[in-house]
Every structure is written in C-alpha cells, then in structure tokens.
Amino acid sequence: EQNEEQYRPQVHFTPDSMWMNDPNGMVYYDGEYHLFYQYYPDSTIWGPMHWGHAISTDLVHWDRMPVALYPDSLGWIFSGSAVADVANTSGLGTSENPPLVAIYTYHNPELERSGSDTFQYQGVAYSIDKGRSWTKYEHNPVLPNPGIRDFRDPKVFWHEASESWMMILAVQNHVSIYSSPNLIDWTFESDFGEGIGAHGGVWECPDLFPMQAGDTTKWVMLVSINPGGPNGGSATQYFVGDFDGHVFTPEGIKTKWVDYGKDNYAGVTWSNVPGEDGRRLFMGWLNNWQYANQIPTGKWRGAMTVARELELVEVYNDYLLVSKPVDELQNLRGVEEQLNPETISGEMEIKKAFELPLEINLHFDTKNSSTITFAERFGIALSNENNEKLLIGYDNLNKLFFIDRTNAGWDSLNKDFAGIHYAPYINNDPILDMHLIIDRASVELFAKGGLVVMTEQFFPTQPFTSISLFSEHGEVSLSEGKIWPLGSIWN
C-alpha cells in the first residue's frame, strides 16, 4: 500500500497516517535507534501534540510503534529529547535496569487562551522497558515557566567534564543552558544568542554537542529558526565554539546553515550512539512551516530527512559542518549504472522509464580544457509529460547551488512553495560533485562532499518520466556519473 501512494516517500520515515512535525527524543539504546516525533493522530493538520514513536536497528528501516506520550492535564506534548540514564541518576529505574528518560515541553492551551505567558514548561517521562511504555514523572513540571511565552524544546546531554546533565532550551530569541545532577532538579547556567546569528524569527529546537575536527574538539550548537531561513520560512543555523559546562563561546560571526533548502527543520542529533566517539547522527523534519499544513501528500502529512552523519571540518580557518546520508542507506542500492564521461551542451537525457527513489552521484569537471565556453548554469533535471520540471544544479555566474521548483507541479496553494532557492558556494576546486537522494516527493542534495546541503520537496501532478543533464549558455563536462535505484524501506 505504501508503494502505491503517489507522494509516499520510499526511503524516508513517514507516519502511516495523520500529522507529523519535529523529530523528538532520538536516542540509541540496546541495539535500537528510537525516533519519537510531534504527532497528531486525529488529523492531517497540526493540533494537540503527542509523541509518535518508531524504532530502527539500521537508521533506514523503521517499525512504527504505538503513540508514546499523550497529552495530559498539564498540556500537549511538544518537542524534546531522551537520554539513556545509564547510571540511574534520576532514580526512575534501577542500576540493573536503567531508565530511558524523556524531557519534553508541556504546552498548556488553556493557560495560553487565558492570556497567561507561562503556558510552556518542561516535564519528564521514563521507560524501563526499552521505550515500549512510558510513565510520566509524578512531580511534573521539572522546570516551571519563568514568565516567558516561548520556553521550549529541551535537548539534554551528559557533560563528561563536569559530570552532570546539561539542558539547552529555546527561549524566544536565544537559548538557555541549565545543568542537573539527576534530570529532575535544574539550575540555570547561562544564555546565548542575543545579538548573534540569524534572528528573523523565534529560536526553536536547539542542540549542543562536541565534535572532533582533526585534533581539535569543538562544540557545535544547532538552532532552528522560524521564519528567517536563508530561502524563507523555517531553517536550522549552527554555531561552532567552546563549551565549559557553563557558558557557550562562539567563534566567528557569519551565520551558517545546516541545510540551505527550504525543507529541513527542527533537526537534532541522536544521543548515546554506540562506538568509540560514536557517530554524530542527525535527522530533520522534511518540511517548512510556510506550507507544512497544506502540502498535498494524502492521508499523512510530514516526512523526515534521511538519517545523516555529521562531521566537522576546518576550511579556511573556519569550522564547517559536513552532512552525509548514513552509510547504512547504501544497503538499499540496486544495480549501479554508470554514465559515460562526456561534454554536455544543452540538454541530454540520461534516463527514462524509471521509478523513484534513485540515488545519483555526479562529478562535473569545471576546469576541463576541452570546454570552450563554460556553462552559466548546469545540473540535472527531472520532468514529466505535463511539462513540469525540477532543476538541481550550479549557477556558475553567481557561484550558487540551486534547486528550482518554480514549475515542478504543486504550487497553487502556497506562494512560498514554488520558486528557485540558492546555497552559496565559491568553487575553487575543479571537480564539482553533487550527490542526490531523490525520493518520490523530495530531493536531498549533498554537494562538495556534503559541505553544501539542500533539501526540498516537490509534488509533480504526474510522476517524473525523464531525467536529463543540462548546460545553459556553454558547456560542462561530466567526469563521472553513477545511478542506483533504491529499494523501498517499507518492503
């Protein structure tokens, strides 16, 4: 059934039906990756929030589980995180069977309606059966509201050096950091964010974690912002700096974005990931609040990005995030097809009679001497018999990657959906690589080894039936091209 719906993603998590937004409570425990998410089981429109739940052993295939957290007398269950309290610091489990602890925001709609400013506060729930059933802590809330309307989305992590739990919380136009010995009693440490970074909208869904860049350890802070993203609406910025257990000190002042496309929001990382220096694994909501409640998907609304591995690299005295689909996704690949290296001028069809999803890897050689006039724009296009077309490429005049969904189908309901969206990148390197995961209704572009990421949805009125490479006002040479069909995660 999930293979028959026109817009049903085949390699991305979706609920079987009804509304989904932010990923929540991502934690690895005992062989399983947990994904919780903002869920409204009674409608395909956002409403009273629950935590939906899914479990995976490979970050690719997901088992849909029953709803984990229902609204209660304290309010709806907004976004938050989960940790494995392996030392049972909370006392909510035992040392033999430590608890999973979820820390989330209660949003109280009655208080909000009454005109109060104190309608968001943090609560705790725990599970002692590997996340199958959850009990709310009996003395919630654990962090009451200090009189600020936007006070939400706690992301909790264990801070090795100070041997305490840390919470980073979105507070209106900044984040606040709190510490705790036991996940229950929280002490304010510091604020970060006023006067730095993007401020076109409210700050939401922060995360804070250490990463290795060569020999150096840096701390990376993710902060989602809505609106105010680089191409309009929702997006996630990040800061790189240091964290001493009390205060986050950023380096550099330029605003950086995890993803420049319009459809990657509220993403955070998994906690307790196994392995030496465990991988830093990320997932975002593949959507944008500008049109999230209107997209024409069907009996469900909302998908997640593929799980991605983040790395931190030093580039020109700056630290930048690199994103890649997790290696496990390659297990979905079918037979590899190779494209011949050649010079592209105008439009060249490379595929017809195919089904999405596909994974495509393209290397364009921008310095090839056989190129007489170098193209102004080049890339890859998907089209159908209705003359709808999705373009993904590089604009060499302006030095920008782009996704153009101006004429890719669904655009009538929302003026913010259609359009051409850009990501900056000065290409000093002869090879311009584009790695694409193209599902039935979304594309994820990982360019320059993952330094530039763009994630966007598309809704053609009929499935795309042709894929071509294009080069405008000049030529470009393709030095390498590979295509893999991807199997469905629902089979």
Q: Which chain residues interact with ligand FRU by CB under 6 A?
A: 21-22, 38, 49, 78-79, 105, 152-153, 204-205, 266
Nearer to ligand FRU, 153 or 456 (CB): 153
Shortest Å, Cβ 322 to ligand FRU: 24
CB of 302 to ligand FRU, least distance (A): 10
Q: Which is nearer to ligand FRU, 22 or 189 (CB)?
A: 22
CB 13 within 8 A of CB 304: yes
Inter-residue contact 196 to 174 (CB < 8 Å): no
- CA 333-335-341 angle, to 5 degrees, is 105
In this structure, are strands 18-29 and 300-301 parallel, antiparallel, or unpaired? parallel
Question: Is 153 known to be catalytic?
Answer: no
- Specify the DSSP class assigned to residue 139: T
Residue with tokens 């089981």: 41
What is the residue whose two structure tokens read 């049972």?
88
Q: In terms of CB distance, is 170 or 356 closer to ligand FRU?
A: 170
Beta bridge partners of 379: 393, 470
Q: Which is nearer to ligand FRU, 184 or 266 (CB)?
A: 266
Please, which residue, 23 or 325, has the CB nearer to ligand FRU? 23
Q: Shortest Cβ distance from residue 105 to ligand FRU (Å)? A: 5
Q: How far is CA 290 from CA 17, 239, 412, 413, in A?
A: 21, 24, 14, 11
Query: Residue 140 to residues 105, 137, 150, 183: CA-CA distances in angstroms?
Result: 11, 6, 19, 12
Do the bridges between strand 400-407 and strand 308-315 make them parallel or antiparallel, or are there none, so unpaired? unpaired
Least distance from ligand FRU to the Cβ atom of residue 80, Å: 8
The Cα 288–Cα 21 span in angstroms is 9
Any idea how long the chain is? 491
452 phi/psi in degrees, rounded to 5: -120, 125
CA distance 302 to 222: 21
- Say if residue 487 is exposed, middle or buried (CB neighbours under 10 Å; 0-12, 13-18, 19+): middle
Across the beta sheet with 63-69, the strand order is 63-69, 50-56, 32-40, 18-29, 300-301
Smallest separation (angstroms) from ligand FRU to the CB of 205: 6
Instruction: State which residue, 6 or 293, has the beta carbon closest to ligand FRU.
Output: 293
The catalytically annotated residue of 22, 207, 263, 411 is 22
Which lies closer to ligand FRU via its Cβ, residue 282 or residue 364?
A: 282
Exposure string for 294-303, b = 16+ CB within 10 A, e = fewer: ebebeebbbb
CB of 35 or CB of 469, closer to ligand FRU? 35
Question: Cα–chain-centroid distance for residue 358?
Answer: 20
Taking the C-alpha atoms of 370, 373, 375 and 376 in order, what is their torsion angle to the nearest 10 degrees? 160
Closest separation in Å from C-beta 230 to ligand FRU: 17
Q: How far is the CB of 140 from ligand FRU (least distance, A)?
A: 16
| 220, two tokens | 């990376």
Contact 4, 22 (CB under 8 A): no
Q: Write down the least CB distance from residue 52 to ligand FRU, Å.
A: 12
Rg of the chain over Cα atoms, rounded to whole angstroms, equals 22
Residues annotated as catalytic are: 22
